[in-house]
Structure 1
């Protein structure tokens, strides 16, 4: 007769207090989540995935890529360079790939950061860049690009009726658009240094997971939720509704 491992029986009893599911094979679901993502000077674990970390090991919006020792992340179909990840403070420093070169040659499009995952750090702000502007209107901070024409920057929408297009960039709160001619060199430097966002993933469920000497990932099915997976003896699975994650041992 087959007997469940002792560790499985202990967790099974704990889960029974909340909700019970039959034991099932889960060996492949979260395998490899103990491996960290490493690229250049960036190292990351949960809630990120990438390289040898399976997609289920991290949130779908936090899949990292490594090309020539440069870490990248795609948000709203736009590529960002990941300059730094601080997992203690749950923050990432990002720089838009399409704004790393000459600003006048950049792609002027808006990128929306999913608010359920990202929150811009309080030391940064959004500044509006206006283009296709009326050349006869007086602007507080403007620059004439060779091919695009007049562009202007503002922390509010005061030029909204005088320019046909606009998009936002994230800059340090210390960055103040100058009166008169915009200092393009200073702007390009600030964009290359990137901006910081907080990752809004609640890790409390993971603390419970770690207490079972396991690791965390995400389940594929809707609604999205945190999974707790095994480091050892992947033989049975049950769902703990109270903690909203799946524990497997």
Structure 2
């Protein structure tokens, strides 16, 4: 290979890496909790100087705005124009709403439907229950790195072994902001989810709170999403078998509705 050819390939790789990082930053910013530079960098598992440099470029293109007083970032007008011409292949609210309402009515706790995207899940719908203490740390558009929450653990457990190992390697840098989620703990929770068919993760993201979840599968058996219930840890522990049975039933119902729409894309570990 000639020197010029080698340099050209290196430049292509650098450009590709920059585009990948920019995409990761933009996706992180769809979560309302990621508005500060520190939060965006931590979510993406990237250095603050790198994130700031990319944000400056995105600002110049109108894709991102920065408030000069609060120093917070938000998606810009160009993102709205891009979004206006895009649409989901599936109306997740349509396929999942009935299941979320039934579960919230039965157990009185927060029910969440989150779709797999790369090594994250994105909340596409939720339903609050009637119990006085609700888990309010997710909203529409919230993103969670796989393993940060029971939904991500359920998705990891439903992956093939090779895909799961790739995902675990990719999420490791992002877990620094969650000191209680160690590699050994995450693998232990995934192994338990594989054995039991449902995932439980308690007291590691929010004290005294946790979740129980199952994966929503495509017709080919690959995970597309996670259906979870978030609640006080003791409410999950005292009703685990009952919660798991109802979650599995409703996840299967959502999977059946997806199959009826003849929509079966496979999720990618990407990023």
Give the structure with higher Rg (CA): 1
Structure whose residues are more often strand by fraction = 1
TM-score after normalising by structure 2:
0.20
TM-score after normalising by structure 1:
0.21
